Chains A and B, each alone.
Chain A
Amino acid sequence: MIKRDLVIIGGGSAGMAAAIEAKRNGIDDILILEKDGVLGGILNQCIHNGFGLTEFKEELTGPEYLSRFADQVKELGIEYKLDSLVLNISKEKVVTYSNAIDGVVDIEAKAIIFATGCYERSPGAIQLSGDRVAGIITAGTAQKYLNIHGYLAGKRIVILGSGDIGLIMARRMTLEGAKVLCVSELMPYSNGLNRNIAQCLNDYNIPLYLSRSVLRVEGKGRVEKVVLAAVDDKMKFIPGTEMEFECDTLLLSVGLIPYVSLLENIDVNISSTKGAMVNDQLETSIPGIFACGNCLHVHDVVDFVTEEGREAGRAASRYIKGEISKKVKIKVNPGNGVGYVIPQFIETDLDHDVTFKFRVRKPIKNVFVNFSSGETVFHKVVKPVLIPSEMVMIKVSKDKLASVKDEITVSLEER
């Protein structure tokens, strides 16, 4: 069987950053497996600008951002295979992939980095009611049709969900000649960035209806009408609040889910983010299998994906060189107001700083973020505003972590 030091599954932002960093940390035998025909993943279709502010101190489009990393992958001579789909991975770290040239191939890897990204929630996943007709598609699919292949998914559009992809697509489709009638959001607040509401909706007078969702879709063969209705605080439709929109397309931007089915197959522990549970080395419950990027938890900014990819690249390098030893097992729990925290465990030791990443459950102002162990709060940070759509990152120094016993809880406390 072919043996490799490091196999990286996914050649998007996370996978490329992981590969580059592993190479720089002395790992030469690296293979990236990418299912698409080009490196770069989802950034290929994100042609809008706004990427790279942290990384490059400038605003790039998605393709420009990815090309800087793809160029490095090529310059460093890192091997990658395109159009290559990973079919299976085993607990023994055997990766099975397939492509048109190699056929079906098994590779035994010393370490695997999982960087497979995420997928969009489907109409079925949100129990969309009404006629089963053509013209109901996810915002990301419409984005691919438009920005890669050059055609509009429809002419009169209703968008459900105010996540960033939905907002970005509202503007893109408007620019290309479609009429976007409205964006409807189930929650009382938008999950998109404020600036996207300003520049994608307000600039083009596209209304955003909060606390409203699709009551039903009507049509024969193709979407003809979408009926929205207001929801109460228990997410139940309120009779008499119906609004009807004659349209040919309903775009869904209703959430992203980490793509980890290959990890689930081998019983890797999965967290509430639907991604793998990881320790402070981004290592899953199977030693030597690491996860990073949107397949670990869905990020809002690609620069953070890149950074997490690098972190995984460094960790996998240490693992391959036999430099990771596990001395503790400290569980990290989300407490009051916190949806999830990464890492879920600290396992190496408490001798290094740890950056905790988390999201709050709902928008909240003027709070303390408390890091506690037992009854003791060992770290406290003031935050003026926290919203679910912005991931929070807080670095805790090793000095503060030294007092931790067996568990850490991250929770919010009103000031």
Chain B
Amino acid sequence: MKEFTCIVCPRGCRLTIDDELNVTGNSCPRGAQYAKDEVTNPKRMITSFVRVKNRENTVVSVKTSTSIPKGMIFEVMDEINKVGVDAPTHIGDIAIKNVLNTGADIIITKNID
């Protein structure tokens, strides 16, 4: 039996999961899935930024298109820190395709003219 706080939404349900992966305490199906992932293969979204090369003192925010294995967070951060993009940027533009073979892209989350 394991207990933890659900991070799927701001509600923050207190989840418990037993050895047979039965989840209690969740308010939605996403919470149940999160609990199962958390004991088998914990994953996280990452948000960060990349440099905008043609603008002074400017960065543009990015996120992983889907959650990545928790253990790879800092490796993925290293990749994010290597790249830069040029303005204008558009929400949804891909800064890194399939980062470190995680299946997640690093995508731009801000429009900069």
- Cβ of A28 < 8 Å from any Cβ of B? no
**On chain A, which size bracket covers the interface?**
20 to 34
Determine the chain A residues whose CB is within 8 A of the CB of B4 once the complex forms. 198
Docked CA distance A365–B74 (Å): 39
- Cβ of A301 < 8 Å from any Cβ of B? yes
Contact B59 A193 (CB under 8 A): no
Contact B48 A198 (CB under 8 A): no
Docked CA distance A14–B14 (Å): 31
Given contacts A61-B63, A64-B91, A195-B5, contact A150 B49 (CB under 8 A): yes
What is the interface size of chain B, counting residues whose CB is below 8 A from a CB of the partner? Answer: 30
Report A392 CB to chain B, min CB distance, Å. 14
Docked CA distance A149–B109 (Å): 15
Contact B10 A53 (CB under 8 A): yes
- Cβ of B35 < 8 Å from any Cβ of A? no
The listed residue with most A CB atoms (<10 A of its CB), out of B11, B51, B61, is B61
Contact A194 B12 (CB under 8 A): yes
Residue of A nearest to B92 (CB): A64
Partner of B10, one of A67, A203, A300: A300
Determine the chain A residues whose CB is within 8 A of the CB of B61 once the complex forms. 47, 61, 63, 147
Contact A149 B59 (CB under 8 A): yes
- Cβ of A55 < 8 Å from any Cβ of B? no
Given contacts A47-B47, A149-B57, A150-B57, contact A53 B9 (CB under 8 A): yes
Report A73 CB to chain B, min CB distance, Å. 13
Contact A193 B12 (CB under 8 A): yes
Given contacts A150-B51, A175-B48, contact A49 B63 (CB under 8 A): yes
A residues 256-314 with Cβ under 8 Å of B?
300-301
Determine the chain A residues whose CB is within 8 A of the CB of B63 once the complex forms. 47, 49, 61
Report A390 CB to chain B, min CB distance, Å. 9
Contact B9 A203 (CB under 8 A): no
Contact B47 A48 (CB under 8 A): yes
Given contacts A53-B10, A61-B47, contact A197 B111 (CB under 8 A): no
Determine the chain A residues whose CB is within 8 A of the CB of B70 once the complex forms. 203
Report A42 CB to chain B, min CB distance, Å. 14
Partner of B73, one of A59, A61, A175, A193: A175
- Cβ of A176 < 8 Å from any Cβ of B? yes
Docked CA distance A403–B4 (Å): 45
Given contacts A61-B61, A147-B49, A175-B77, contact A50 B9 (CB under 8 A): yes
Determine the chain B residues whose CB is within 8 A of the CB of A67 once the complex forms. 91, 110-111
Contact A63 B109 (CB under 8 A): yes
Determine the chain B residues whose CB is within 8 A of the CB of A148 once the complex forms. 58-59
Report A66 CB to chain B, min CB distance, Å. 9
Contact A63 B12 (CB under 8 A): no
Given A175-B73, A176-B77, A198-B4, list of 13 further CB < 8 A pairs?
A47-B63, A50-B10, A59-B9, A61-B109, A63-B61, A64-B110, A149-B59, A150-B49, A150-B58, A195-B10, A197-B5, A198-B12, A199-B7
Which residues in B have some Cβ–Cβ distance to A below 8 Å? 4-12, 14, 44-49, 51, 57-59, 61, 63, 70, 73-74, 77, 91, 109-111
Top 7 A-B residue pairs of the complex, sorted by shortest distance between their CB atoms: A194-B12, A150-B59, A47-B61, A63-B110, A198-B5, A195-B12, A195-B7
16 contacts between A and B (CB under 8 A): A47-B109, A48-B47, A59-B9, A61-B109, A63-B111, A64-B109, A150-B51, A150-B57, A175-B48, A193-B10, A194-B14, A195-B6, A195-B10, A197-B5, A198-B5, A198-B12
